[in-house]
């Protein structure tokens, strides 16, 4: 049987690797890194333009490149990488052949075509409509068509993932339930299906409008449905990077989830309560009632926020339990101090966790509060917030896992190991500065997507306070630092993949298909006795709990600071 020759045993992880899957993971990861490199160059030019003292680009180029930056980073880099994660989470973790590799390749090339077509539209110069492409501002038809083709490709990739889960079950390559990480990837894929459907519902009519088949697309309808796509897309990222956090905790520490039930329920809450999240982009829009806004922005009493707060405890909690078992038991934080801070897989993941929670999470909930949104909507606070969630949260987590993927999947040693140790710190600190100072400038009213906050030569212009200029300057310094960190990442990855030392292991062997079958499960009577693990009895992770309480205290404090600030502005009804 041909399939027998297509698996190899990975001596590093013990996983049975389906070689067509491996090739697909490589292709998608490469496309992701290429998009990141393009987006990174644009990031540098943009941040140097918003640095008031530098103000590099002319306005037309600024708006063009800002559009391209958003698309290449938020869509192409992240989604190509997520497709790689889906294939990893299904085929590799379950030791199963990938469903229809040829269809997966078709999906990949469709995504590449879509990404190229969309970039072509932007760089033509007549589609500087920003990432959001709000109607009735028109873009070239290939702008929308490119996005649609990419989305169809991504949708096919999701179904390849679902198919692989079915095959794994059918061919009994694992026992019992799928691993937690696979479950997280499944969450991401389910949200992706909803997301892409919403995108199709709005982008297809918009495409038809752009070629003259439809008279007009209502701007409020566009925003409402667009954000069911645009925001849910970020929820895919959250599910994916939380899955990466659990993966890293497992790989580095052998950490066991504190309880499968809690972590899985938290993932489930993402599916159930996130899909209505388009509302918090529409909190100051006319034509929608407050009842609708309140219900939908809080995703029915903030259960998705609850889910993230749960993961924020269970991931470091699992690490703490594992570390304490190894003997790092002194005080509250010895487990954390003795963690492998020099290993970029861990340091990147942990900064992603902390940054996502403290900066991205808190600011996100505050932005998404109906009335508080009035004092922040469309200010640069918004990009400050999402650079904390999507860049510190998602991108940094993906960068961290890359340092595992290089040896495990690409079979290459990581080049420039010293630089790799520094990379997550430089990128993380730069991005933290960028996010924090953008938020600061936003509270002073600095608008997002704006070429000239000095309104030079405009008698009607507004003079922002000096602090706003200072913060925009500091944000840009952070931005430049982050670009340096990003460039280090791209350099390390490209060098490792093409010129890195090949890992040849004596343990390398092809395995036959039937060896993919999982061993029979222990009789459950015996196993049930065994759940008296440390996590279940004692107060197993006091350090993590302390951190969680600090987090909650900052959250509450900052929440009320914002209400206090709101209470001073003009009364509105």
Partner 1 sequence: MSAIQPPEERVWWKEPIAPIEITWILIAFVWCLFMFIMMPYWHIFGKQNLANEAYRSTPELFTAKAQAMVDKYKVREETEQAIPVVRPPAGSDVYLVARLWQWWPLLELEEGQTYRLHLMSLDWLHGFSLQPENINIQVHPGYEHILQVQPNRAGTYSIICNEYCGINHHTMAAKLYVVKK
Q: Which is nearer to partner 1, 154 or 376 (CB)?
A: 376
| In the complex, minimum distance from the CB of residue 501 to partner 1, in angstroms, rounded to a whole number | 26
Beta carbon nearer to partner 1, 117 or 181? 181
Exposed, middle or buried by CB within 10 Å (0-12, 13-18, 19+), for 479?
A: buried
Peptide bond connecting 136 to the previous residue in cis, omega within 30 degrees of 0 = yes
- Residue whose structure tokens are 């630089």: 419
Side-chain half-sphere CA neighbours of 370 within 13 A: 13
- For residue 414, give the 3-state DSSP assignment: coil
Q: 9: which DSSP letter?
A: E
Q: How far is the CB of 107 from partner 1 (least distance, A)?
A: 24
Name the minimum Å distance from CB 522 to partner 1: 8
- Helix H or strand E encompassing 17: strand 16-18
Coil, helix or strand for 233? helix
User: What SS3 state is found at 412?
Assistant: strand
For the bound state, the minimum distance from the C-beta of residue 38 to partner 1, rounded and expressed in Å, comes to 21
Q: Minimum Å distance from CB 263 to partner 1?
A: 8
User: What is 53-115 written as a DSSP string?
Assistant: TT--S-HHHHHHHHHHHHIIIIIIIHHHHHHHHHHIIIIITTT-PPS-HHHHHHHHHHHHHHH
Please say which residue, 212 or 532, places its beta carbon nearer to partner 1.
532
Which tokens hold the place of 199?
A: 């995108």
Smallest gap from residue 327 Cβ to partner 1 (A): 19
CB 464, min distance to partner 1, A: 8
Tell me which residue of 302, 334, 298 sits closest to 319, measured CA to CA: 334
What's the closest the beta carbon of residue 115 comes to partner 1, in angstroms? Answer: 22
Considering beta carbons, is residue 66 or 399 the nearer one to partner 1?
Answer: 66
DSSP state of 510: E
Shortest CB 376 distance to partner 1, Å = 7
Q: Are 281 and 231 in contact (CB under 8 A)?
A: yes
Q: How far is CA 3 from CA 9, 278, 510, in A?
A: 14, 44, 11
By beta-carbon proximity to partner 1, the closer residue of 33 and 121 is: 121
Q: How far is the CB of 487 from partner 1 (least distance, A)?
A: 28
Measured from the CB atom, is 53 or 528 closer to partner 1? 528
Which residues, other chains included, contact 418 with Cβ-Cβ below 8 Å and sequence gap of 6+?
none
Instruction: Name the phi and psi angles at 376, rounded to 5.
Output: -140, -20
Q: Which is nearer to partner 1, 305 or 406 (CB)?
A: 305
- Rounded to the nearest whole angstrom, what is the least distance from the CB of residue 257 to partner 1 in the complex? 5
Q: What tokens were used for 349? A: 């993941």
Smallest gap from Cβ 184 to partner 1, in A, equals 8
Which residue lies nearer to partner 1 by CB, 102 or 529? Answer: 529
Tell me whether residue 149 or residue 255 sits nearer to partner 1 (CB atom).
255
Residue 37: half-sphere exposure toward Cβ, Cα within 13 Å:
13
Question: Quick check: 138 and 210 in contact, CB under 8 A?
Answer: yes
In this complex, which beta carbon is closest to partner 1, that of residue 150 or of residue 227?
227
Between 432 and 443, name the residue whose CB sits nearer to partner 1: 443
Supply φ then ψ for residue 547, to 5 degrees. Answer: -60, -40
What is the 3 state secondary structure string of 199-217? HHHHHHHHHHHHCCCCCCC
Alpha-carbon gap, residue 203 to 129, rounded angstroms:
14
**Is the peptide bond between 362 and the residue preceding it cis, with omega within 30 degrees of 0?**
no
Q: What does the alpha-carbon distance between residue 24 and residue 112 come to, in Å, rounded to a whole number? A: 13
Return the number of the residue (318 or 493) whose C-beta is nearest partner 1. Answer: 318
């Amino acid at each position: 049987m041909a399939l027998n020759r297509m698996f190899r045993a990975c001596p590093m992880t013990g996983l049975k690797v389906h070689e067509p899957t491996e090739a697909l993971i490589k292709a998608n990861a490469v496309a992701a890194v290429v998009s990141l490199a393009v987006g990174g160059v644009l990031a540098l030019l943009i941040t140097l333009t918003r640095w008031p003292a530098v103000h590099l680009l002319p306005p037309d180029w600024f708006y063009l490149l800002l559009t391209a930056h958003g698309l290449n980073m938020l869509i192409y880099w992240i989604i190509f990488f997520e497709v790689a994660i889906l294939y990893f989470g299904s085929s590799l973790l379950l030791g199963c052949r990938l469903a229809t590799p040829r269809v997966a390749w078709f999906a990949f090339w469709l995504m590449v075509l879509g990404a190229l077509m969309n970039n072509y539209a932007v760089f033509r110069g007549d589609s500087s409509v920003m990432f959001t492409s709000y109607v009735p501002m028109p873009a070239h038809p290939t702008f929308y068509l490119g996005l649609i083709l990419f989305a169809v490709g991504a949708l096919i990739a999701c179904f390849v993932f679902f198919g692989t889960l079915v095959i794994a079950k059918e061919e009994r390559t694992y026992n019992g339930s799928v691993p937690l990480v696979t479950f997280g990837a499944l969450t991401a894929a389910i949200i992706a299906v909803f997301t892409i459907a919403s995108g199709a519902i709005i982008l297809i009519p918009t495409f038809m409008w752009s070629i003259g088949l439809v008279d007009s697309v209502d701007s409020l309808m566009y925003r409402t449905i667009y954000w069911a796509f645009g925001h849910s897309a970020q929820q895919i990222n959250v599910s994916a990077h939380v899955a990466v956090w659990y993966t890293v905790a497992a790989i580095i520490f052998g950490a066991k989830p504190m309880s499968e039930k809690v972590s899985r329920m938290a993932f489930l809450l993402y599916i159930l309560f996130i899909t209505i999240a388009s509302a918090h982009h529409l909190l100051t829009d006319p034509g929608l009632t407050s009842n609708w806004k309140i219900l939908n922005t809080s995703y029915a009493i903030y259960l998705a926020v609850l889910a993230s707060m749960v993961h924020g405890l269970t991931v470091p909690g699992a690490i703490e339990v594992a570390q304490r078992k190894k003997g790092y038991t002194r005080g509250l934080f010895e487990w954390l101090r003795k963690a492998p801070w020099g290993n970029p897989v861990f340091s990147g993941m942990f900064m992603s966790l902390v940054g996502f929670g403290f900066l991205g999470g808190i600011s996100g909930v505050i932005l998404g509060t109906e009335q508080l949104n009035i004092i922040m909507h469309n200010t640069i606070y918004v990009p400050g917030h999402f650079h904390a969630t999507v860049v510190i949260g998602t991108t940094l987590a993906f960068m961290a896992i890359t340092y595992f993927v290089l040896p495990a999947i690409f079979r290459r040693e990581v080049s420039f190991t010293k630089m790799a140790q520094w990379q997550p710190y430089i990128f993380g600190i730069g991005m933290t500065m960028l996010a924090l100072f953008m938020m600061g400038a936003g509270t002073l009213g600095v608008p997002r997507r704006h070429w000239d906050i000095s309104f030079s030569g405009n008698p009607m212009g507004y003079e922002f306070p000096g602090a706003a200029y200072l913060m925009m300057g500091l944000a840009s310094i952070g931005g430049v630092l982050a670009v340096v960190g990003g460039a280090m990442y791209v350099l390390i990855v490209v060098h490792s993949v093409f010129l890195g030392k090949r890992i040849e292991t004596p343990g390398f062997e092809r395995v036959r298909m039937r060896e993919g079958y999982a061993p029979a499960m222990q009789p459950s009577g015996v196993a049930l006795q065994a759940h008296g693990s440390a996590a279940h009895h004692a107060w197993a992770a006091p350090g993590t709990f302390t951190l969680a309480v600090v987090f909650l205290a900052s959250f509450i404090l900052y929440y009320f600071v914002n209400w206090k600030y709101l209470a001073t502005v003009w009364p509105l009804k």
